[in-house]
Amino acid sequence: MKNLTILGSTGSIGVSTLDVVARHPDKFSVIALSAHSRIEDLYKQCVQFKPKFAVMHDADNAEHLRKKIKLAGLPTEVLAGPAALEQIASLPEVHAVMAAIVGAAGLQPTLAAARAGKTVLLANKEALVMSGGIMMDLVKQHGATILPIDSEHNAVFQALPRNFADGMSNVGVKKIILTASGGPFRLADAATLARVTPDQACAHPNWVMGRKISVDSATMMNKGLEVIEAHWLFNASADQIDIVVHPQSVIHSMVQYTDGSVIAQLGNPDMRTPIAYALAYPERIDAGVDMLDLIKTARLDFEPCDRQRFPCVELAYQALKRGGTAPAILNAANEIAVEKFLDHKLAFNAIAKLIEATLERVTSVPVHILQDVLNADSAARHMATELAQQINVTV
């Protein structure tokens, strides 16, 4: 029996995780769940999975949930706040922690899971993009394991040799090729991109996801963040990581070897596949996913990634090459920009401009300790918020 904590259980990844878990009551037990503000959703999950702990972001919501739980006679203890998230990420009886909170809010609990030597099922890519070497060092120091949930990295993990940590070129790997669907605006011209609304940006052609990652997919910052994520997960340099646009989202990524072989992982675009893979690793279990029908799929198309129309990709490569706190600055500026765009306070094509301007003004410094990352995150948030007033191109 594997005991689980699911951080962000009411989100898109959290719900898919519980769907897989519910198919295997003999294999997994849910010890703790967490949500930001969806009381009713978390309550229903508590009824179904009877966790020991449930954490809400703020105390009022927690009190509300506590009353409902008491009334229903459930065994769940309700806690609140960031410290409680770290607590449920490091409980002694928990084996694996699904890190599925969106954005920087997931950083500290994910690091807590690493510090406690857990198996970290990493969906929250922003946490790794920000903290990079700090997270990877903690994992090593405390005997933790990271298994990637992001479909691309999960695919790469499946296609790499087991000793990949020795360095890409030492294990015969030439390139990691991340596939990108191209998002909803793959074929849009610059004029169209200027008028995009939040609902249009969140209507992804192949995946149903949370709103923040949906906007990231539309700007292709998601792929930029994934390049940085791949760098840390697989010990690969920026020039060993390529992006290819593949509109069908059937190949989830590939590894190219020096002998000319390319190993790809294919499947229907359904996050339950990488989630099930990581939950059961190294075994394979039913994920409830329809089997891929190759005849129906019929074609696999590939296109280059246009970094001029999607400047966020270029900004991410530059931040990775610059190193230090640059990826944390990139990530923080992006979180502010996406929030403002979703709030109708920033135009879609101003997202990249705001990130670029923030990167120009907040100096990247080397990362020695976690505080260096936290300082950069906070400085970049302040700068991006200030700059947004000036850039202020709204729709």
For ligand NAD, the closer CB: 339 or 356? 339
Q: In the complex, what is the shortest distance from the CB of residue 226 to Mg ion, in angstroms, rounded to a whole number?
A: 6
Residue 252 in tokens: 């989830």
Residue 285 in tokens: 């279990």
Which of 21, 98, 102, 245 forms a contact with ligand NAD (CB under 6 A)?
102
| Chosen from Mg ion, ligand NAD, none, partner binding at 68 (C-beta under 5 to 8 Å by type) | none
Residue 198 in tokens: 């939040």
Q: In the complex, what is the shortest distance from the CB of residue 333 to Mg ion, in angstroms, rounded to a whole number?
A: 20
- Is residue 126 close enough to count as binding Mg ion by CB under 5 A? no
Q: How far apart are CA 182 and CA 322, in angstroms?
A: 25
Query: What is the pattern of x (binds ligand NAD, CB under 6 A) and - over residues 29-58?
Result: ------xx--------------------x-
Stretch that binds Mg ion, among 29-37, 147-155, 253-261, 372-380 (CB under 5 A): 147-155
SS3 label, residue 127: helix
Which of 150, 216, 335, 339 forms a contact with Mg ion (CB under 5 A)?
150
Q: Which is nearest to 341 in space by CA: 286, 384, 288, 298?
A: 384
Residue 256 in tokens: 């190219």
For ligand NAD, the closer CB: 90 or 357? 90
- Is residue 125 close enough to count as binding ligand NAD by CB under 6 A? yes
Give 354-386 as a 3 state SS string: HHHHHHHHCCCCCCCCHHHHHHHHHHHHHHHHH
For Mg ion, the closer CB: 79 or 230? 230
Residue 41 in tokens: 């959703």
For Mg ion, the closer CB: 152 or 377? 152
The residues, any chain, with a CB within 8 Å of residue 92's CB and separated by 6 or more, are: none
Q: Is the dihedral of CA 309, 181, 97, 171 positive or negative?
A: negative
Instruction: Return residues touching ligand NAD (CB under 6 A).
Output: 8-14, 35-36, 57, 100-102, 105, 123-126, 150, 207, 209-210, 212-213, 271
